[in-house]
Structure 1
Amino acid sequence: MAKKKPLILVTNDDGITAPGIRALIEVMNTIGEVLVVAPDSPQSATGHAITINDTLYFDTVKTIEGSPQKEYSCSGTPVDCVKFAVNEILKRKPDLCVSGINHGSNSSINVIYSGTMSAAVEAGTLGIPSIGFSLLDYSMNADFEPTKKFVKSLALQCLKNGLPKGVVLNVNFPKLSEKEIKGIKVCRQANAHWEEQFDKRTNPLGRDYYWLTGEFVNEDKGEDTDEWALKNGFVSVVPVQFDLTAHHAIKEINTWELS
């Protein structure tokens, strides 16, 4: 009797037509049965937002002839996509959820803003092994070919071994050719932040408006971080937990005079 193919949910935050998700779909089709539910327009930096004060629309997407996956576009956020796929479309829980491949970095502090990673985290909260993939290239013409071998390997290992309870993977790729990539480093999130500014401008009607700008500052010199791995030609893999409790701080805060 033939072994049943794993069921894989694919989503992203750059939108269902983005080249990154098309590359991810291509790889996942070599592994299992694929369902795609992704935003109908870019939803970068939406974090874990969900739609509660507006209606949601989902439309079937016509795929390229011969493509086996089913696809739906969503008017909402990446997290909306995961919720809808699990609760409305699928008859059983996916064996794996993959999100991306994002156009741009989601390493270090960027993970908390990322719609790509929030979709993976949402699936993780539902008990689905999940991975978010990102490439350090913001261009819509980014070359995802060098990532495909690593994407497939990580997905297969995740299906084979599962993930620890409460953990999803944040995977980032350097902008390098496959030959230039030195391998994979499992590492920690670098201690870094954005020094932000607002670029103030005035529209023709005299009303001020602002563009958020900023500079990424990495003050972490450790050689066990995602930023170090990426800078030195490695794929970074950071296990991310979605229990946000600072367990180490409980004892200290219990010393306060609370009433």
Structure 2
Amino acid sequence: MDGGEAAAIGCPSAGKPTILITNDDGIDAPGLRALVAVLDATGRYTVLVCAPDSEKSAVSHSITWRHPIAVKRVEIDGATAFAVSGTPADCTSLGISEAIFPFVPDLVLSGINKGCNCGYHTVYSGTVAGAREAFFNGIPSVSISYDWVQGKSNIEDYTIGAKACLPIITAVVTEIRRQTYPAGCFLNIDLPTDISNHKGYKLTQQGKSMFLMGWRAVSSEKRPGRMLSTMTMEADTGESTERETSPISQDQVLYRRQVKRHLTSKDDIDHRCLEEGYISIAPLGGLSPADPGFQSFLKDWLPTVSDRFLLSAL
């Protein structure tokens, strides 16, 4: 984009905070569109969008390094928006760089994701990575996910969820403007399935819940000449949909991921609160620290490593 187009975007309205929105479900996803609409309706914010041009779920914090990414201006009511051929982390990085917008946003929001992101799911999540990338660059950020359940949830829930997050967003922006917002974390918000009857906010912490995955062979005769990849799973059914990509040869065998079971523990405060109907607010850092018990083990174990190696070599 040249300087003339950047200038045409303009600067934020006087006194208005600027919010950049990204996601991993793609720029056309209803969760992102609901978030834009709700923020725009307040009249309080200048809203920017820099989001993937297609779904990039479960890409974690991957970035595009070896080749350029394509950027295209798109029309979204209430926002200045660009669709990007990269990952969520790419989109955040580009959006805060002043390369496509002539100013740095006050806050980055990533979401609203279709599906919760509690526990170890935050490692796989492109939604969480979109917020984490802003955090890495010193910009306050929030990732937002909705616990979508097939057969129970509907598109309108995203708007209800966005409105439920509005007090948190407004409070965060207020602290940013006062220069009193802490720089040591970013927020990961998970919205319960029955969002219209949620029980309020609850401060939680990242647990260890995750889906235990397995693999099974898939007959190539089902989709001749094509490889199946990029799986989107519905957590409540274990079903998956795939997009077809590169061709396969006769000597290749196809394998598809499948969910074996959902692993949880008593320490999964974020997931438990979500199931109880609360909005989980979990502060996250760039990297999770090791368990204190493991640190204690290493403190005693590491000094003995050299001696054990020498004894085994005799």
TM-score (norm 1): 0.89
- Residue 43 of structure 1 deviates from its aligned partner by 0.2
Question: For residue 45 of structure 2, what is the amino acid of its counterpart?
Answer: G
Match among 86, 101, 114 for residue 103 of structure 1: 114
- Residue 228 of structure 1 deviates from its aligned partner by 1.1
Q: What is aligned with 2:201?
A: 184
Deviates more, 1:54-63 or 1:200-209: 200-209
- Residue 93 of structure 1 deviates from its aligned partner by 2.2
- For 1:247 and 1:202, the matched residues in 2 are separated by 42
What is the number of equivalent residue pairs in this alignment? 253
Gaps of 5+ in 1: none
Question: For residue 212 of structure 1, what is the amino acid of its counterpart?
Answer: R
TM-score (norm 2): 0.74
Q: What is aligned with 2:239?
A: none
Q: What is aligned with 1:195?
A: 212
Q: What is aligned with 2:281?
A: 237
Question: For residue 137 of structure 2, what is the amino acid of its counterpart?
Answer: L
- Does 1:74 pair with 2:84? yes
Q: What SS does structure 2 have at the residue aligned with 1:227?
A: helix
Question: For residue 59 of structure 2, what is the amino acid of its counterpart?
Answer: T
Match among 93, 97, 101 for residue 83 of structure 1: 93
Against the structure 1 CA distance between its residues 57 and 169, is the aligned structure 2 distance closer, same or farther, given a 3 Å change threshold? Answer: same
- Does 1:155 pair with 2:173? no
1:136-189 per-position Cα deviation (integer Å, ceiling 9, x unaligned): 1166953213213222111011112244223111101111142x2111111112
Match among 56, 69, 72 for residue 43 of structure 1: 56
Greater CA radius of gyration, 1 or 2?
Answer: 2
Against the structure 1 CA distance between its residues 111 and 216, is the aligned structure 2 distance closer, same or farther, given a 3 Å change threshold? Answer: farther
Q: What is aligned with 2:37?
A: 26
Q: What is aligned with 1:173?
A: 191
User: Which structure's residues are more often helix, by fraction?
Assistant: 2
Give the percent of matched residue pairs that are identical in Structure 1 and Structure 2.
32
- Residue 127 of structure 1 deviates from its aligned partner by 1.2
Deviates more, 1:199-208 or 1:163-172: 199-208
- For 1:84 and 1:183, the matched residues in 2 are separated by 34
1:209-235 per-position Cα deviation (integer Å, ceiling 9, x unaligned): 11111144343224x711111111111
- Residue 199 of structure 1 deviates from its aligned partner by 2.2
